[in-house]
Amino acid sequence: LLNSRTDSDWEWYGKNDPYYGVVSWDQFRSDQLDEQGRAAFFQAGEAYVRDLTEQIRRLVVGEFCPGRVLDHGCGVGRITIPLARLYPEVVGADISPSMLGHARENCRAMGIGNAEFVDAGEVLRGRLGQFDFIHSYIVFQHIPVGRGYEITQALLGLLAAGGVGALHFTYRRSAGRHLRSRLLPAVYRRVPYAYRLRRLLKREPVMQMNEYDLNQILTWLHDIGCGGVNLRFTDHGVRGAILVFRKQNPASKNEEKP
């Protein structure tokens, strides 16, 4: 699970442009980020968690109140911090040590004491045990698909019986939108040295945008006994979906009617 070219790309962003690495708008570039920009960045995370919690409580589990929470691909803590304000024990996991360092610093600055930030590999190997809520947003899209599937399966294994997952996957490039972002990856794959040349000129890594097969993911959710999946679409140049589901509690398995 641990070797892939994208890991060093993310450490580059963690070191050089962490907030832009998380939300790629110019106002979050390291050389432009001011107090107002930082506030807007974290407010977006608060609003996202508010909406997601409301969605889970309305449509998936009315009494949703997880004890142990995992935010996979936590970045600088934009979503982990609001999660830690709501739930007792939160783990933020990321592949980039520098992102994890920023997340710890942000928690210190905001007086958050119940969030821990750890290397994603440690979590996937099960060193931190199971979780009652596993969340990941705008992360899988940047991970090569084969590896993303391995991580998905590992995360499903870490979800406690009766636990809730909210995992975001991109599944289709939006027709006509961001032509550049659709064509460039194909050029980099096919034209020798095009990627190296781009790195030399721009001096920053290309963020991969990958498409996942939702059929595959739905099959795994079915296999772990989810009775259903609540799906919310996203579209930021690539179409995606946040899949919200509850892993079956074996104790309630026999209650299902044919």
In the complex, the residues that contact ligand SAM under the rule CB under 6 A are 6, 10, 22, 73-75, 78-79, 94-96, 99, 120, 137-139, 142-143
Residue 32 phi, psi (nearest 5): -125, -10
The least distance separating ligand SAM from the CB of residue 79, rounded to whole angstroms, comes to 5
Strand partners, 69: 90, 133
Q: Are 93 and 123 in contact (CB under 8 A)?
A: yes
The least distance separating ligand SAM from the CB of residue 78, rounded to whole angstroms, comes to 3
Q: Which is nearer to ligand SAM, 74 or 167 (CB)?
A: 74
Which SS3 state, helix, strand or coil, does residue 207 take? coil
Q: Which is nearer to ligand SAM, 96 or 152 (CB)?
A: 96
* DSSP letter, residue 250: G
Closest CA to 15 of 77, 101, 79, 74: 101
Q: Which amino acid is at 258?
A: P
**Cβ-proximal residue to ligand SAM, closest one:** 75
The least distance separating ligand SAM from the CB of residue 182, rounded to whole angstroms, comes to 19
Q: Which is nearer to ligand SAM, 6 or 248 (CB)?
A: 6
Q: Are 72 and 157 in contact (CB under 8 A)?
A: no
The least distance separating ligand SAM from the CB of residue 13, rounded to whole angstroms, comes to 7
Q: Which is nearer to ligand SAM, 120 or 167 (CB)?
A: 120
